[in-house]
Each structure stands twice: as C-alpha cells, then as structure tokens.
Chains A and B, each alone.
Chain A
Amino acid sequence: MFGALLVAGIVHGLIIGLAALAVTLVFGIARFPNAAAGDTMTAGAYAGLLAHQASGSLALAGGAAVAASGAVSLLGYLLVFRPLARRPVASLLVAAIGVAFVIRAVLGLIFGHQQQVFQVPLAWPIEFMGLRIPPMDITLATVAACALAAAFGVLHLTSIGRQMRAVADDPDLARVSGIRPLRVMIALWLLAGAAAGIAGLMLGVKTVVSPEMGWEGLLTAFAAAILGGIGSPAGAVLAGLLLGIAQEVSTPYVGFTYKIALAFVVMLAVLLVRPRGLFGRMEGVR
C-alpha cells in the first residue's frame, strides 16, 4: 500500500515539479508570481489531447503540448506582461489573473466544460521488488525526467541559459554586461511555457482534462515553488517531488479532497519558518 502510494506520489510529484519550475523561473527572472501558469498547463493538455486523438501517439501529443503552451506563454508576455513591465508587481499579478481567465474561458468556449480523458490502452502492471507499477507511470516518469533534463540543459549548458541566470541574479548587472533583456525574456517564457505544457499533458493523462484543471493545480505549484525557494529550479523540482509524495501518502489519513489544503498548510509553514525555502536566496525576501 505504502509502496504504491509512493510510486503514485513520485509521478504526481514530477508533474508538480514541472509546474513549479515554470512558476519559479518566471518568479525569479520576470519577478512576479505568474498566476496564468496553471491555465498555460491546461492549454498544453488540450493541445496534447487533440494530437493524441488524431494520431494516437503520446510523443506527438507531447510535441503539441509544448508548442501550444510555449505559444500561449509567449503571447501572454508580448501582449500583456511586457507593456506592463514597469508597473508595480501587484498590477502584473492582477493582469496575470486576467490572462488566466481569458485562457480558461477560451478553452471552455472551444472544448466545452465536460471532462475528457486520454484513451490510453490498459496494460498489466509491472512487478518490481514486490511493487506493482503501471507501465504508463514509467512512461510518464521518463517523459518528465527527459523534460527536466532538457530544461536544466538549457539553463546550465547554453549561452541563453547562462544569460537567464545572470538576469535572475542581478538584472542591472546583466544589462550593463551587454545581455539583451528581450531575448532573455522570450527564451524564459518559451521555456516556462514548455515546462507547463508537459506538466499539463501528464496531468491530463493521469487524471482528466477539463478547463479548470490548471487553475486547480496552480496552488500546489506555487507551494512547491515557495518550498523549493523562489528562483531555484532544482529546489522547485525537489519540492514538487516532496509535495507530491506527501499528498499521496497522506491520502489514507486526510482524504484526497484535502490535497489542496495540504499544499496550503505546507506553504504557510514554510513562509513562517523558512521563507527562503530549501534553496532560495535571502535576496528575494525583504
């Protein structure tokens, strides 16, 4: 029982980790909490669902999810967040809520509000050290691991990734060093959108696809980003895993309806005890 919950928690945690990665990158570099990250996930899930229905291939669905979420994320930046960049953080946050509602309403308009599922073939679980693991969980975990590896590769091995981290560290210093902010921002929103898209696709495969799914997952993603330390990609993923496992393992005791409440309590506790999270810098905290 515990082992099965642990496996479910790891898969769930990878989804949270990817969503938290999208949140923490934007929070660390564009410096506001992007409340539209959840609905960017939803856009990816619907794009993946369409591609999967048309082709039956999960790989194509992943490509469609990344493309759609990346496009939605970049459009949000160019149309809304860029013109507002010099406003107080509060205005950006309120605008992000507006973007979230527009995305959700448009998805509801196109696809309706009934829940839809990915038609994936049933398969026997694989026995491994006395644990029964559904093959789909292994596939999803592999997809998530590859997506994370790609994201960290971009952040740490490429020039644009170094520039992104430089802007996160000190925007003024980055600017005088000749880093062009627009290029960095475009790369940031594409990367954050792609991570959200994969997270949305995985969440859709594991559960159901509905216009509300992303908004409902947003709070957990925020909680993981805070637990991991704002601006720390590795922290976000680790915190996502911790939260996912905690949510699944606690289900027999508190019931699955309290998953969101558990994320909320974790978030409050972290903010009270250690507001910089696991790996955050003090600089994010005034």
Chain B
Amino acid sequence: MVSYIVFLLVVAGIYALLAQSLCLAWGVTGLVNLGLAGFFAIGAYASATLTKWGGAPVPVGLLAAMLAGAVAGFVVCVSTLRLRDDYLAIVTLGFAEAVRVVASNEIWLTGGTDGISGIPAGLPRDWGQGFHLAALGIVTAILGLVWLALRRLVASPWGRALRAVREDQIVAAVAGKRVTRLKAEAFAIAAAIAALAGALYGHYTSYIAPEIFQPLITIYVFLAVTAGGNGRPTGAAIGAYLLIAFLEATRFAAEVLPGVSAVQAAALREASVGVALILLLRLRPRGLFPELSQKAPA
C-alpha cells in the first residue's frame, strides 16, 4: 500500500510538471496547447534514446529532452503566431497525432509500437522501496524548482507582458510589446517543461511506447489546470494532485459498482473526466486558486 501511494505521488508530480507547462502556455499567455501529450512524448523519447543507446548520463538526457521540447515547441507555434490563437490549438492537436504516428512507424529511431524498454534510471532499481522514494524525492524537487522559477517568471515584467498579450494582443502591441516573440518564448519554455516531464516519466517507469502518449493525458492536464486555477503555478500544481486523487477515487468507485466490466469502468472514468471538465468550465472557470488581480506597478 505504501509503495502504491509513493508510485501515485511520483505520477502526480509528473502531472504537476505538465500542469506547470499548461499554466504558462494557456493560463498566463492564452495559448491553448492541445499537443501536450506530443511534447511529453518528445521529451521521453529524446532522453530515453540518448541514455539507453547513446550511453549518456540521465541528467544530460533530461537537458536534451528540454532542448528537444523547446525546439519542437518553437517549430509548432511559429507557423501560427500571427494568426488567431485557435489556429495554434488545431496545429498542436495535429502535432500530437503526428508524433504518435512517427513514433509508431520509425522503428529505427523509436522501436516502433514495441516501444523502448529498459531505460536507465540513473539510480539502481534493486533498491526496492528506496528506489521509489528516491525517485519521488527527485521528481518532487524538480517540480519545486520549476514551480519556483515559474512563479518568478509570472511575477516578472516578462510575465506581466504575457498576461497583457493574453488579454488583448493589439493593446499589448500598441504598448510596444513584441507580441509574436513573447508568445514564441512562452510556448517554447512551456513545451520544454512538458518534455522534461516526459523524460522523467520514461526514466522512472523504464518503458515508453507510442500508445502511452494518448490525447487522454492532455485532457487530464486540462482538467487539473482548470480545477486548480489556470493562471497560477500553485493552483496548477495542486490541481494535478487533486486530479490523481479524483482518478483513483473513480477507479475505486468503479470497482465497487456491481455488474460493470473493466472496459466499461474505464469508459465511465473517461466520461466522468469529460463531464468534470465541462462542469468546472461552466461553474468555476477560475479554479480553486484564482489569479490574483495585481496592483499596477508604480
């Protein structure tokens, strides 16, 4: 039981990192990233291939994953930054699907649908409970660092400019903000955070495959960020832990319900996630931890 809770906390930490990414892109800058699962996958594959087949140490893999994520984020957003923001959302949706198709078919690079197994963790896996506790410590520490950095960024003049872009791009441009550049920077950093989460996931579970990176991950993170409050890193992180609690609660509820098969239980959970997202958007769009209105700088 303890090891199960530790496992859940590690997974929740990884989701919280994804939530930080979405908080920066969607909550602060207003860019809907429906390709979160794609950037998650890019990071996982970049770090896994480098450390397993390239023999690189895990920290190098993590850095490479962030770099790959940032480059992918830049390439994805650059084609639509001058257009209305919903075009970017459609492109990111396509990006995630394209990543899955490439990961399934380019066997020389990704192992195809078999995936990559035996990804090194940088820690000895035979520590048993100790391994999972150490992983929990590392993931939580990285989450803490990202959360601190994001809080600083959001409160900085740069973060203020991003919020101005979110509220009204024309006003921001008139005020002399370089809207396109700000959006590209925010989106690339957010993509790098998502890729970092993917790399950590691969190293922790030691196995990645294309079918892991389903759009379901993206909607989970949207639910987490909407629940927590999409404009605040703290809210997004807490939302991710609440999400895991919610998913586990529905898992147990489905087991208790009589006459429901495992497949039906999974479908019920998916439906409940969708309904929860719609209800939150309707009833509490600013989340549990709404963005605070800020004083104008003196």
Interface residues of A (CB under 8 A from B): 32-33, 35, 80, 83-84, 87-91, 93-95, 97-102, 104-106, 108-109, 112-113, 215-216, 218-219, 222-223, 226, 255, 257-258, 260-261, 263-264, 267-268, 271-272, 275, 284-286
The 4 closest A-B pairs by CB, nearest first: A101-B274, A105-B271, A105-B270, A102-B274
For residue B140, CB closer than 8 A to chain A, the reply is no
Once A108-B270, A264-B94 are accepted as A-B contacts, the answer to whether A80 and B84 lie under 8 Å apart by CB is no
A140–B82 CA distance with the chains assembled, in angstroms? 40
Q: Is the CB of A271 within 8 A of B83?
A: yes
Q: Is the CB of A264 within 8 A of B98?
A: yes
A67–B102 CA distance with the chains assembled, in angstroms? 37
Contact pick for A93, options B32, B98, B226, CB 8 Å: B32
A36 nearest in chain B by CB position: B274
Contact pick for A105, options B80, B169, B218, B274, CB 8 Å: B274
- Which residues of B are found within 8 Å of A80, using beta-carbon distances? 278, 282
A102 nearest in chain B by CB position: B274
Q: Is the CB of B271 within 8 A of A101?
A: yes
CB distance from A123 to the nearest CB of B (A): 33
- Which residues of A are found within 8 Å of B281, using beta-carbon distances? 84, 87, 91, 94-95, 98
Q: Is the CB of B84 within 8 A of A286?
A: yes
A102–B275 CA distance with the chains assembled, in angstroms? 7
Q: Is the CB of A113 within 8 A of B91?
A: no
Q: Is the CB of A94 within 8 A of B97?
A: no
- Which residues of A are found within 8 Å of B267, using beta-carbon distances? 105-106, 108-109
**0/1 per residue, B50-61, Cβ < 8 Å to A?**
000000000000
A286–B98 CA distance with the chains assembled, in angstroms? 27
Q: Is the CB of A264 within 8 A of B97?
A: yes
Once A219-B94, A226-B90, A285-B83 are accepted as A-B contacts, the answer to whether A105 and B268 lie under 8 Å apart by CB is yes
Q: Is the CB of B222 within 8 A of A97?
A: yes
A13–B91 CA distance with the chains assembled, in angstroms? 21
> From residue 77 to 116 of chain B, which have CB atoms closer than 8 A to chain A?
79-80, 82-87, 89-91, 93-95, 97-98, 101-102, 104-105
A284–B80 CA distance with the chains assembled, in angstroms? 13
A275–B88 CA distance with the chains assembled, in angstroms? 12
Once A84-B281, A271-B87, A286-B169 are accepted as A-B contacts, the answer to whether A35 and B93 lie under 8 Å apart by CB is yes
Once A33-B89, A89-B86, A226-B90 are accepted as A-B contacts, the answer to whether A94 and B79 lie under 8 Å apart by CB is no
- Which residues of B are found within 8 Å of A94, using beta-carbon distances? 32, 222, 226, 277, 281
Q: Is the CB of B102 within 8 A of A261?
A: yes
Q: Is the CB of B32 within 8 A of A263?
A: no
- Which residues of B are found within 8 Å of A268, using beta-carbon distances? 79, 91, 94
Q: Is the CB of B30 within 8 A of A286?
A: no
For residue B263, CB closer than 8 A to chain A, the reply is yes
- Which residues of B are found within 8 Å of A93, using beta-carbon distances? 32, 34, 86, 89
Give the residue among B32, B80, B219, B278 with the most A Cβ atoms within 10 A. Answer: B278
For residue B23, CB closer than 8 A to chain A, the reply is no
A258–B94 CA distance with the chains assembled, in angstroms? 12
Contact pick for A257, options B105, B271, B278, CB 8 Å: B105
Q: Is the CB of B98 within 8 A of A267?
A: no
A87–B280 CA distance with the chains assembled, in angstroms? 13
- Which residues of B are found within 8 Å of A84, using beta-carbon distances? 281-282
Q: Is the CB of B270 within 8 A of A99?
A: no
- Which residues of A are found within 8 Å of B169, using beta-carbon distances? 286
A260–B80 CA distance with the chains assembled, in angstroms? 19
A276 nearest in chain B by CB position: B83
A261–B104 CA distance with the chains assembled, in angstroms? 12
- Which residues of B are found within 8 Å of A106, using beta-carbon distances? 267, 271
